[in-house]
């Protein structure tokens, strides 16, 4: 869904991306900064500070968007940069959900009545399957497979806003459901394209 807005977002971020490139920031350095904020978000969830975790998540999402914009405006897009970005994205999600699972194991998210850890695990698995399904289908020749209602940007946004509103449990449930639906949607789309 948000990928459809990517061109508009990229053009809005272009002046900032140029400024960051002139200041000496590389796309890879911005990717690593985003990773640091995701680890901070995971730690904040683990110590029961969901609102601060929500802020860290939204900052992480900003760096996730700006690193690609800086790569484009500075003409530093490379195959390795794309691989690094994808790998760091998986570590980012793992850090966030490990913090959420830890919080759930220790009684967090009372709205889930002790099931927060399981919902966190399901959200992590679903999120990884969204990415894996796309990567595997594209490697098999499906073409760009960015279909689905809950790509990474949407999942981070749901978690960030849910945490800011102190509704993390419900946000994690929503992410888990939407992630599995998105993975299934991609699998169906891959079947249609690949036969």
As a whole number, the mean pLDDT across the chain is 92
E strands, the chain, in order: none
- CATH code that applies to domain 2-194: 1.20.120.1760
Cβ–Cβ under 8 Å, residues 149 and 183: no
Q: Which tens digit of pLDDT belongs to each residue from 89-107?
A: 999 999 999 999 999 999 8
Domain spans, the chain = 2-194
DSSP code per residue over 85-124: HHHHHHHHHHHHHHHHHHHHHTT--GGGTT-HHHHHHHHH
pTM of the model as a whole? 0.90
Identified catalytic residue from 64, 67, 85, 89: 89
Give me the mean pLDDT over the 180-185 stretch.
97
Q: Is 85 a catalytic residue?
A: no
Q: Which tens digit of pLDDT belongs to each residue from 150-162?
A: 999 899 999 999 9
pLDDT of 4 > 60? The answer is no
């Amino acid at each position: 869904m948000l990928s459809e807005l990517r061109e508009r977002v990229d053009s809005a971020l272009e002046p900032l991306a140029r400024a960051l490139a002139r200041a000496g920031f590389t796309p890879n350095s911005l990717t690593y900064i985003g990773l640091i904020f995701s680890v901070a978000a995971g730690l904040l969830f683990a110590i029961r500070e969901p609102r601060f975790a929500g802020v860290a998540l939204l900052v992480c999402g900003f760096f996730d968007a700006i690193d690609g914009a800086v790569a484009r405006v500075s003409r530093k897009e490379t195959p390795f940069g794309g691989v690094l970005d994808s790998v760091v994205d998986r570590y980012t999600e793992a850090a966030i959900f490990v913090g959420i699972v830890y919080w759930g194991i220790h009684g967090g998210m009372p709205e889930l009545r002790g099931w927060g850890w399981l919902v966190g695990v399901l959200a992590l698995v679903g999120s990884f399957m969204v990415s894996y399904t796309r990567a595997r289908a594209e490697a098999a020749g499906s073409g760009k497979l960015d279909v689905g209602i809950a790509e990474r940007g949407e999942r981070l946004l749901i978690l960030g806003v849910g945490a800011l509103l102190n509704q993390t449990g419900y946000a994690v449930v929503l992410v888990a459901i939407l992630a599995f639906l998105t993975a299934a949607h991609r699998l169906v789309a891959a079947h249609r394209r690949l036969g």
